[in-house]
A = this chain, B = another copy of it.
Amino acid sequence: MAKKFTGIYPALVTPFKGGPLGDEVDHEAFARNIRLLNAFGLAGYLVLGSTGECVSLTDDEAVRLAGIVRETAAPGKLVIAGTGKESTVLTIAFTRRMAEAGADAALVRPPSYFKGKMTREALKRHYRAVADAAPIPVILYNIPQNTGIVIDPDLVVELSYHPNIVGLKESSGSMPYLVEIIRRLPADFSYLVGSGFLILPALLMGACGAILAVANAAPALCVEIERLFRKGNVREAAERQLDLVPLNKMVMETHGISGLKYAMGTAGFEGGLVRLPLLPLDEKAAAEIDALMEALP
C-alpha cells in the first residue's frame, strides 16, 4: 500500500435499536448509510472508530460490521477498521479477524487503562509487535480526549519508519502536534487529521486527508473543503471550514455521538440509537441541531 490515504473518510456511526440500552445493532440502517455515502466523493470509510462506539460492541458485532462495510462500499473505497484493544495479544488477534472481514488497514488506538505505565517504550513495543503481526497496514491513533494518553510526537516519527505502519489519525486537533512532525515523516506516511475543526489548516500544513465523525452528517461540505484546497482556492476553503464549525462543535463536543446520529437523520441518513452509557438526545438539543443543519451551505 504505497499510496497515501488522501481524501475524506467518515468515521461511521453504529446505529443501534431495541430499547434504552441499545441492545441490537441495526445492520440495515448501517448498510443503507454506506450506500448513500457512496455517492459523495469520499475516499473510503472508517468502521469501528470511537464514533462507531467500538468499545461498546462485542467482537462478533464488530467483525460483522466490518464485513458489511466491505460488501457495501463502492468499488475503490478504502476500508479502515479500528482494531485497538488493551493488550498486544488481543489487538493482534482482533486485527487478524478484521483483516479477514475485509479491512484494508487497521486503526490502532494505544492501550490506555494502565495510564501511568504507557511510557514511550511500552507503546513502542506494543505498536511494533502489532505491526509485525498484522496482515494489513497499521495506522496509529492519537485521541487523548478518550484515552487520556498522548502518543509522543517523537514516537510517531520513530514508528513511521516501520514498514507496516503507514499513517496516523490525529484526533486531538492540535496544530502544534502536526507541524512538529510533518516534515520528519516518510513521504509515503499519511497524516490524517481527525478533527472537523481544522480540516483546512491541517491540509495546508501537510496532512493528506481527514477521518471525520461530522462527515456522517455533512459529507458534501467536508469533501468540498478538501476539493477547494486541492484547487488552490484556499480563501473559499476557509469560509467553508468556518461554515462547518458550529455543527462540528455541536455533534462532537456539546452533544457527542447522540447529536451526530440525530443530525444524520435530518440529512437523510439513519443514525439510530446510541448504546448506554451514552445517553439519548433531549428535545432542546434536537432543535438546536435542526437549526444548524438547516444553516449549512
Chain A positions within 8 Å of B, measured between CB atoms, are: 20-23, 50, 53, 55-58, 86-90, 110-111, 113-119, 121-123, 125-126, 129, 145-148, 173-176, 179-180, 182-183, 195, 197-198, 200-201, 204-206, 234, 238, 241-242, 245, 249, 253, 256-257, 275-279
Contacts and interface: CB of A to CB of B under 8 A. Distances in A.
B277 A111 contact: yes
Number of copies of this protein chain within its complex = 4
B198 A277 contact: no
Contact of A21 (B89, B147, B256): B89
Contact of A175 (B114, B118, B198): B198
Contacts of A22: 87, 89
Contact of A179 (B110, B148, B242, B256): B242
A50 B113 contact: yes
A249 B174 CA distance: 14
Contacts of A253: 116
A261 B116 CA distance: 17
B242 A182 contact: yes
Give the 5 A-B CB pairs with smallest separation, nearest first: A56-B87, A55-B86, A201-B201, A88-B276, A176-B197
